[in-house]
Every structure is written in C-alpha cells, then in structure tokens.
Chain A
Amino acid sequence: MTQPSAIPVTVLTGYLGAGKTTLLNRILTEQHGKKYAVIVNEFGEIGIDNDLVVDADEEVFEMNNGCICCTVRGDLIRILANLMKRKGKFDAILIETTGLADPSPVAQTFFVDEDVRAKTRLDAIVTVVDAKHILSSLKSAKEAREQIAFADVILLNKADLADAAELDAAEAAIRHINPLAVIHRTTKSGVALDEILDRGAFDLERILAIEPNFLEGGHHHDHEEDVQSFSFETTRPMDGEALTHWLQTTLQTRGQDILRSKGIFDVKGETKRFVFQGVHMLMDGDLTSPWKPDEARRSRMVFIGRNLDQDELKRGFDSCIAA
C-alpha cells in the first residue's frame, strides 16, 4: 500500500495513566541513534523529551466517498504532509492519541489519503493498558474495546501491581477480542524497542502467517461486551474470484462493524500466497511471497468486530473454497 522508502509511523493508544507517555519517553531516550517526530494531543502537559513535538487537534473528518464509516484524521493529513516537506530531519514518526480516541480514523488515514500513503507508512498500532483496570474498562467502555481490537502490539502494563490470576484473566479477555496482537506483560512500559517499532504490521509482504491465539476456557459470555473475533481456516485451495467478491461484499455490507480483518489464502492456480487486510470497509490485498515447495498450504482469515454473525461469515468463507 505504500512506498518502501516511506517513513514508518507508530501509533500509541491507551487510556490516560496506562503508561503511554512513559513508553513514548522510553522510545525517545533509548540510545538508538534515530530521530523521531512526535505528534501529541495534550501538548506540554506531560514532558516529552524530543526536539520535534507537534500539537495535533484530533480533527475527525468524514469522507464524502459513500462510505459512512470512513473517517480520517484531517489534522494528521495536514501535519504529515507538512512534516514531509522538512528536510531529512527524522527517521520515524510517533503518534500519541488521546485516551478516549477511537483508533479507526487514524488507521484509515493511512489507507485513504494519497499524500500520506505516498510518503509514510503505518507500521503498527501499539496499545498500552493498565493490567489492574483493563477488565473493568473492557466491560464499561467501548473505547477500551476498540483500542484492544485495533492493536498489533499490546502492553499489559503495570503488571507488577496485579497478581497472576488478574494478569491471566486480563490476557484472556484481550485474546477474546484480539487473537492476533502480540501481548507483552510489562512494568513501567519496559519492553525491547524492536518489539514495538518496525513491526510492519500493515505490510502485506511481511505477513507470512496468521496464528490466532485464542485462549480457551478463560472467558464467559456473561457480560455485555460486544467486540469479539472469529477465525476460519481450510487446507483446501480457495477460488480467487469468489474470494475477492466475498471479501469486498462482506466489508461493504458489514464493514461498519468489522474493525480489522486479516487473511492469508492459498488461491487455486497461484504459486504465491494472497494476503489481505482491512480496516472497516477499506481493504488492501495482493499476491505476495510464493509458497515454499515443502510448505503446507492453507488459508486462514480473522475478523475482529462487533456483533459479528459467526455462522454467516463461516458460510461465506466456505463458499469460496474451490470446487
């Protein structure tokens, strides 16, 4: 979806107090020899140790493209375009969102805007959560569920303040929403930087396998949480035409409720794997690396969303299996 030379952008989400700013400062102060531009919202409230800190307004704009859920961050389009005019001053961009922000407009900005796509690439969405409070947040706040649903990497932070049972319960609840994200249990947002930076989470070429991690047994459907995920798999090759049609219509009709989707497919007659990802109704898909001769070919797809109809999605997936 973007140029290889594009500047990587990492998005940090999470509630106020979860440890987002601690993580940001950790990234900035570690000795890595890289220069960052940082886009924040609470400008100056918390000290950020960096030369280039940009104050953003989180202006969420609706696009007039017939897609009702297609919102973008107008301020990011403007800021990123102008940052790219600066001469060779930084290697990567970090965007900190406010605690209550829905990550969709940020992610969609990188799919929709031609200038943003030409010069930057979304590397990963990193969500920091407070291990002690995440369970109650997931029950009470839609934003908390969305931030987990969108994440590529999740820091289960302040792990030292929670006991083992609390951590396991938190992880199980997170897994129920998002089986694809990498979870790190951290204290004071301490994590190796290569676990959060340069992940290439939106880079089709780097998505080689999808291994959803559903923790069994730790979850009960006894509260009103609405965001969940489903995974479908087959070892029989898929029909390329049927698959493309199904993915398009599913996202067009259900995309408001499907937050993220990801799939790798073995398409009949193709030597390369077909990799697909979506954010709401926006999708990106391509044939990427070839299957290895001794590799077991299979197709696997994960949907993360609210109020998903598992049976309907399963029927759709199965209908794409080549005859």
Chain B
Amino acid sequence: MNQAAPSPARFLACDAFVTAAAYAPGVAAFTLGDGTVRLVRDDAEETAIAAHDGAALCLAAWADGFVSGGDDGRLVRIGADGAMEEIFRTGGKWIEQVAASPASGALACAAGKEAIVFARPGAAPRRFTHPATVMGLAFDPKGKRIAAAHYNGVTLWWIGAENASGALLEWKGSHTAVLWHPGGEFIVTAMQENALHGWRLADKQHMRMAGYPAKVKSMTFFAKGKWLATAGAESVICWPFDGKGPMGRNAREVGPQGSICTAVAAHPARGLIASGHADGSLWLTRFEDDKAACVRAPAAAPVSALSWRPDGGRLAFGCEDGAAGVLNFEPANV
C-alpha cells in the first residue's frame, strides 16, 4: 500500500451530516442534515443553498444540475449555477429517495408508499403505489422502467405505460436499497439483515449474497456490469455479475482491511474503486491487482457519501460530521 495525496484538494467543513454527494458537469453537490445543498464548482467557487426546511436527505444529478429531496416533503431542482426551483411537494411525507436516468432524462422520488415519476424534465408526475414504504429506487439502463424496493420485494414499472401494473419480484424481508444492472439483466437489493438479494430477470432466479458484518449501505456495479462492489464489510466485497451472475461463485475481497466500509463508488472507466470507511478513511483500490492507496487518513466520523465526476477526474466525499471535499485526480495531479 502506498500513500497518494491528490492535490489540489478542496475541503469543506459543513457542520452537518453529509447525506449524499453527486456530480454534474463542472460542479459537485452535497446534501446536508441542516437542509442546505452545497455546490462546489471545479473552479473552486462554493455556494450554499437553503433548499430544505429540516434535513436534505437525498440527491441525484439530473438535467445538467441536481435534484434534492428532504424531510420537508419538497423535491427541489438546483441548477449548476445555484438557481433553485421546487418541482414537487408532498403533503408532509418525507422525500427520502431520488433517482434519475441520464439515458431518458426521467426522474423519480419516493414519499411513503408512492414512487413519483417524471418521464422527462417538465413532465407531469405519475404516482405508483406500493404495499409498503418505498426504500429504494433505480431506473433500468434505458430509463424506461423503474424498480422500487419495499418490504417483501421489488416492484418494476414501465413508466410510460398506460394503465401501468407493477411486476412484483418477491422475497421476504425488508429491502432497503435497489440497483438495476447496467446490462439490464439483474436487480439487486440490500436488506435489513446484513445481506443482499438479487433476481436474474430472465427467469426470476434468486440470488442470495449474505455474510456481511454490517448493513450494506452502498453498492455499485463496475467494469461494465461485470462486478458489483459493496460496502458493509471490513474490505470491499465484489460479486461477479458476468454470465449467469454470482450464484455458486465466490466474492472477491479487495481494498483495505480493517474499518467497516460505509460507501463505495467505482471510477467510471479505470477499474478503480473508491471506498469510504467507518473510521473516516478514504481509499482507492485498483481492482485488477488489489493495490490500495489511502487518499484520506482516518478522521472523526464515518464516510457517508461518495461520487465521481462522470469522467473520473474528481471524487466528491462527505462524512457524518460534516467534513466533505473534492479530491482532484486529473492527470496533472496523479
């Protein structure tokens, strides 16, 4: 292991829990437990936007800017320039999940048992109702279907279909997050019981991925969907998703060994996995040969948010105590 300190790096002390991070062209955003959204432009200009009355709980990059949801029941669009516009308001239900599709421009948020879906910027909202609270949302690669995770399974909807009826993928228990495989072939959920569950969509074959010491709070596909990197263990656990999926195959453990991984984000191109840990440390691991470098030393609080710029040149991170920053990995700095 070697130490690589990227420079220049930009650090923020936000003084509130960083609930999410995302990147739009030229600008990183962080949502905070004090209701603000902080924008950090690549030219280092910073803006704080009072977006929510309460806590800002979720964030996605959308339509060249961002969209955030909060416990004030508001869904707010935030331009890369900091302009703010409310696009939806619930009757009091918290907005805890938001998802966007770069492919179709669709946007969705979860409020209570409903998923509220906008087919494109400016489109009227459609509401899809579930048997229990929606705890995770993910679009398919084309942005035409959406998966909503809830108690006892995942419901898949065609967002444009008239008289839409959801297709239920059933599995007993509480599903707290969902991902749609970039090739469209698999759905994976994180569960309350320190495990993952998955379905192969072609035949609804179940996939069980268990044995985590902690809840899996972050997961991401990488290498064009051949692998799934997950938090929830003392190292980064990666499951193979090429061919038939992970059934009967071993997971690979990569990255640092020690502090529980709390956030993962895969570099968009270079086979690098960024991992944040409960001790506040931040690591980059090259998956191919499992070479890991510490890019942020252990600090006061767990890492709670991670996001790469779409070209992989910068990495935004945030922590439970409000520490946040953007690390620069542009070629001149590496």
Contacts and interface: CB of A to CB of B under 8 A. Distances in A.
Contact of B34 (A57, A64, A87): A87
B234 interface: no
Given A85-B33, A85-B57, A74 B96 contact: no
B94 A61 contact: no
B71 A87 contact: no
B265 interface: no
Interface in A72-93: 72, 74-75, 77-78, 82, 84-87
Interface stretch (B11-19, B78-86, B179-187): B11-19
Contacts of B132: 59, 74
A64 B17 contact: no
B92 A43 contact: yes
A63 interface: yes
| Residue of B94, B151, B174 with highest tally of chain A CB at under 10 A | B174
Contacts of B133: 57, 59, 74-75, 78
Contact of B193 (A55, A63, A115): A63
A253 interface: no
A65 interface: yes
A78 B71 CA distance: 12
Contacts of B112: 57
B77 interface: no
Given A57-B112, A59-B133, A82 B192 contact: no
A85 B174 contact: no
A114 interface: yes
B215 interface: yes
| Residue of B32, B54, B96, B192 with highest tally of chain A CB at under 10 A | B192
B172 interface: yes
A82 B94 contact: yes
B33 A86 contact: yes
A17 B277 CA distance: 48
| Residue of B19, B33, B93, B94 with highest tally of chain A CB at under 10 A | B33
Contact of A82 (B96, B193, B214): B96
A115 B214 CA distance: 10
B274 interface: no
A43 B192 CA distance: 27
Interface in B19-43: 19, 32-34
A311 to B, nearest CB: 37
B272 interface: no
Interface residues of A, number: 23
B93 A55 contact: yes
Nearest to B173: A64
A54 B54 CA distance: 12
B274 to A, nearest CB: 22
A43 B32 CA distance: 26
A62 interface: yes
A65 B57 contact: no
Nearest to B34: A87
A77 B94 CA distance: 14
Contacts of A63: 173, 192-193
B17 to A, nearest CB: 4
B17 A87 contact: yes
Interface in B78-125: 92-94, 96, 112-113
A75 B96 CA distance: 12
Given A43-B92, A74-B133, A114-B214, A82 B57 contact: yes
Given A63-B192, A64-B193, A74-B132, A87 B15 contact: yes
B92 A82 contact: no
A64 B152 CA distance: 11
B102 to A, nearest CB: 27
A161 to B, nearest CB: 36
A77 B215 CA distance: 12
B172 A62 contact: yes
B135 interface: yes
A86 B55 contact: yes
Contact of B192 (A55, A57, A61, A87): A61
| Residue of A75, A77, A82 with highest tally of chain B CB at under 10 A | A82
Contacts of B33: 85-87
Contacts of B34: 86-87
A65 B151 contact: no
Given A82-B71, A86-B55, A114 B215 contact: yes
Contacts of B215: 114-115
A86 to B, nearest CB: 5
Contacts of B54: 86
Contacts of B57: 82, 85
Given A64-B193, A85-B33, A87-B17, A55 B174 contact: no
Contacts of A114: 214-215
B174 A74 contact: yes
Nearest to A60: B151
A139 to B, nearest CB: 34
A46 to B, nearest CB: 16
Given A61-B192, A75-B133, A78-B133, A55 B151 contact: no
Given A77-B192, A85-B33, A61 B173 contact: yes
A113 B94 CA distance: 21
Ranked 7 nearest A-B pairs via Cβ: A85-B33, A85-B17, A87-B16, A64-B173, A87-B34, A86-B55, A61-B174
8 contacts: A57-B112, A74-B192, A75-B133, A78-B133, A82-B96, A84-B17, A87-B17, A87-B33
Given A63-B173, A65-B193, A87-B55, 9 more contacts: A43-B92, A61-B192, A85-B57, A86-B54, A86-B55, A87-B32, A87-B34, A113-B192, A115-B215
